[in-house]
Amino acid sequence: MKVLVILLSLTVLGGAVYGKMHKKAKLPKNFRFWTHTKSMVIPDKSHGLYGFHNIYANKKAYKTMIRSKKPYPNGAKFVVSFYDVVKKDGTTNQGKKLMDALMVKDSSAKDTGGWIFAAFDDKGAPKPINPKKDCFQCHADQAKNNDYVFHKYIK
């Protein structure tokens, strides 16, 4: 898969210790009540996006996503929850939470395509990232035509 091949070139996710947090970059407390739109597993531990991923969309994001009417409106939000990948007895399961990654549509975030990017550790505390370098660059390189959103809704 092309995307996965390009993903392999990722060096560090969340490694850089700079870049100020956007004040709206808070992990929404209720995101587990949003619509689950997709899952993916990257089992390679050396991969920058290693983990079992579950993606959630809030109502604004979900409605836009399924109507394929882009761009997304301000307030549209996505969260990707990353978990350990645990293989046992022929099954592949979610292990412990690794982190959550957030995108919030906000047209004032001009440097990052009108999206606020943020990441949080397993306890919900903000991870020090550079949103432009650690997040937006990859989304811009590969998902620009879809308003910087990679995944498609899986029915």
> Quick check: 153 binds ligand HEC (CB under 6 A)?
no
Residue 33 DSSP label: G
- Nearest approach in angstroms of CB 89 to ligand HEC is 25
Q: Report the residue from 7, 41, 66, 98 that binds ligand HEC according to the rule CB under 6 A.
A: 7
Nearest residue (CB) to ligand HEC, 90 versus 148: 148
- Nearest approach in angstroms of CB 137 to ligand HEC is 7
Please state, in angstroms and rounded to a whole number, the distance separating the CA atoms of residues 155 and 147: 21
> Quick check: 105 binds ligand HEC (CB under 6 A)?
no
Please state, in angstroms and rounded to a whole number, the distance separating the CA atoms of residues 116 and 104: 5
Looking at the DSSP bridge assignments, the partners of residue 103 are: 78, 117
Nearest to 54 by CA among 72, 71, 37: 37
> What sign does the dihedral 19-23-25-29 (CA atoms) show?
positive
Residues near ligand HEC (CB under 6 A): 3, 7, 10, 13-14, 38, 40, 53, 55, 78-80, 101-103, 117-119, 129, 134-135, 138-139, 143, 149-151
